A and B are shown apart, each in its own frame.
Chain A
Amino acid sequence: MNLTQILINSLVRASELGLIAMGVTLVFSLLRFANFAHGELALIGAYLAYALSAAGLDLWLAIPLGAVATGFIAVAIDKALFARVRTAPGLVLLVASMGLSLFLKNVVGAIWGTKSYSFEGSLARSFSFAGGFVTSTQVIILVVSVIAMLCFHLLLSHTRLGRAMRALADDSELARARGIRVEAIISKVWFIVGSYAALGGALIGLETVISLELGYSVILPAFAAAVLGGIGSVHGAMLGALIIGLAENIVLAIDWSFLPATSGPLYIDTGYKLAVAFLVMVAVLILRPRGLFQGTSGD
């Protein structure tokens, strides 16, 4: 087991996942529902970035433009769907988001087909680092994610919008009574979480491939990270993403041949990576339902 490589892979995974998980937890803390369509925002972002890049736009312009466009799509989705059932029970919102997830995935499939895509370009340069390898793409992913998370932290803790978001998460009625324009704040939140999810999706696509399964493959780990960090806690979601990234990579790297009734090396297939995130989420919900970091709404 190459520990350096596991750490590098985990950090990269956490960087991508964190951008998506913080959106999941922010929507939950403000609107009180688990948005199962959040993974599809990552999917849309990845496909838009790919389409812009394939049309000749520079990749590093295509990705932010795709993210911004996805932010507007997220706002439109809220206006068209979630705003109409804003006061409905959480279950209604949950089911609506599941239906939306299927709808968005099929729309993307109808536009781009079922084949997978990769961003064009030559191979990323790789560098040997403490016994492991890190690629130039991975370094860029790490840097972009850290900057994005830092920006989000500054927005949340040092701006009027951030204060309004936290007030809304704590008590929406009180926030409304104090003159905060709740719907305007919610729209801005949708724009932000849509853009961040799209950025996360594009970064995943940059390192791997862009396929219709991208949304499905990230939503469960993103929920697991959000639950782990304490649902409603944005900073907790980032740390949760790191733990999920580590758990996935360590479990896949372990040789389970020490178990009885096994012969020869025994590893868990990458296809079961989602199960790792799922198990972590279930364990946390049973043992520590408020998350490892005791997150509360509003962060």
Chain B
Amino acid sequence: MIRRSILKAFALSAISLPMFLTTPAVQAQDAQTVDIGVLLSMTGSLGRGGNNVVLGMQTALEEVNALSPSRQFRLVIEDDESSPQAAMDGIRKLVDVDKVPVVLGTVGSATTIPTASYSLSKNIAHVGLTASSPDVRSLGKGYFSIIATDEVMGAALAKFAMEDTGKKKVGIIVANDAYGVGLAKRMQEAVAANGGEVVSEVRYEAGQPDYRAELQRLFSPRPEIVLAVSWGDNARLLTKQAHELGLMQTVQGAWYQPYPAEIVNACIAEACEDVKGLDIAADRGERFQQLRAALETRVGSDVVIDWFIGVGYDAVWVTALAVDLANSAEPAAISAALPKAFEIYRGVSDADMSVDADGIQRNQEYGSFVIKAGKLEPYTAN
């Protein structure tokens, strides 16, 4: 009971870790080990984000285990290679072989939806990380998400772009998957609601070696604003080819992207100059400072905390808290305790992490950013 109250107090207020480590109540006992299944893109087009998620998870794991000597948590990580097929292999391994009581993953909607369906079919709770397609709502009971879905982001990005530029003719280019198509739909609705016009909407297949045809279609009706949904290599190639074809220059400063942290490291700096977007605004409060301090110790003082790290950190914390609240490592008990854990936890991704009936975040705070000389900087809209 004392141990549980410590975890709960820490989750609530982000009181500094060293204070607990010196608390007499924390004593070594016969430790129970709880495996947390993690399915992530460690390689492939989403690999960069996946590796950062793991960094956040490992940081949280150290904190949680330090506070909970009688119940130690362990991450069982599988690489989904950014591919739905490999993701299915990974989830079967976690659920059927490793028999984990809860799964955290993945970083893409296209891999999250089928793998979460599999987890839930085996009555294993599944905590989605950065999957933001509205389709995750259909997954049903036992699914929870660390971030809000694209109903929120799509509308926010379109509104932000139109207000920032004062222009109305919008071109939309998205990946032809659940994530991209879901965002495109919300963007279209928001553009219309803000008095604008979508003059072109193009869907591209992720992982292709050439997007010139798609870019030419996108720019054919001469949009004044481009809303692009891309990441990793796709983002690099799209912006590179748009720049080389002289198209990017026609909307200089008016190319907007959800989650620009997903593209900033992949892009050629010159091609992504002045690309703007909205990102999950990591809460700059106590929890964030605590994460920063832990990461500086772990990887050095020049650490750049992107939202992937925050999501991984929050996911492990909220899961450990649910296990603690349930006082059980049984899948059903964890699943039942997760809504409460989300409600009381104050996260890095968002201070208020309470979820709705579908297990999705009720609210999401976004910050606006711009890419300058290959780095992501805070941006204040015009």
Contacts and interface: CB of A to CB of B under 8 A. Distances in A.
B169 interface: no
Contacts, number: 84
Given A2-B216, A269-B176, A113 B43 contact: yes
Interface string A122-135: 11101010000101
A116 B212 contact: no
B43 A115 contact: yes
Give 10 closest A-B pairs by Cβ, nearest first.
A271-B205, A208-B209, A252-B213, A116-B233, A135-B244, A114-B43, A133-B246, A126-B244, A133-B245, A270-B208
Interface of A: 2, 5, 9, 113-116, 118, 122-124, 126, 128, 133, 135, 137, 204, 207-209, 211, 213-214, 217, 249, 252-253, 265, 267, 269-271, 273
B47 interface: yes
B207 A211 contact: yes
A213 B216 contact: no
A213 to B, nearest CB: 7
Contact of B233 (A118, A126, A214, A271): A118
Contact of A270 (B200, B204, B240): B204
25 contacts: A5-B212, A9-B213, A114-B82, A115-B44, A115-B47, A116-B232, A118-B236, A122-B270, A123-B270, A126-B243, A126-B244, A128-B246, A135-B244, A209-B233, A209-B236, A211-B207, A211-B209, A213-B209, A252-B213, A265-B217, A267-B202, A269-B203, A269-B205, A270-B214, A273-B210
A249 B213 contact: yes
B63 interface: no
Contacts of A214: 209
B244 A116 contact: no
B228 to A, nearest CB: 15
A277 B213 CA distance: 16
Contact of A123 (B82, B216, B271): B271
B209 A123 contact: no
A267 B209 contact: no
Interface in B317-344: none
Interface string B237-252: 1001001111000000
Contacts of B202: 267
Contact of A126 (B82, B237, B246): B246
Interface of B: 43-45, 47, 81-82, 176, 200, 202-205, 207-214, 216-217, 232-233, 236-237, 240, 243-246, 268, 270-271
Given A253-B216, A269-B204, 5 more contacts: A116-B45, A208-B209, A271-B205, A271-B208, A273-B210
B278 to A, nearest CB: 26
A287 to B, nearest CB: 27
A124 B270 CA distance: 11
Contacts of B210: 207-208, 270, 273
A116 B206 CA distance: 12
Contacts of A114: 43-44, 81-82
Contact of B209 (A2, A122, A204): A204
Contacts of A5: 212, 216, 245
Contacts of A207: 210
Nearest to B82: A114
Task: With a 10 A CB-CB cut-off, give which of B211, B213, B268 has the most chain A CB atoms.
Answer: B213
B338 to A, nearest CB: 32
Contact of A213 (B204, B207, B212, B236): B207
A137 B246 CA distance: 14
Contacts of B240: 123
Contacts of A9: 212-213
A126 B241 CA distance: 10
Contact of B217 (A128, A249, A267): A267
A128 B245 CA distance: 9
Nearest to A213: B207
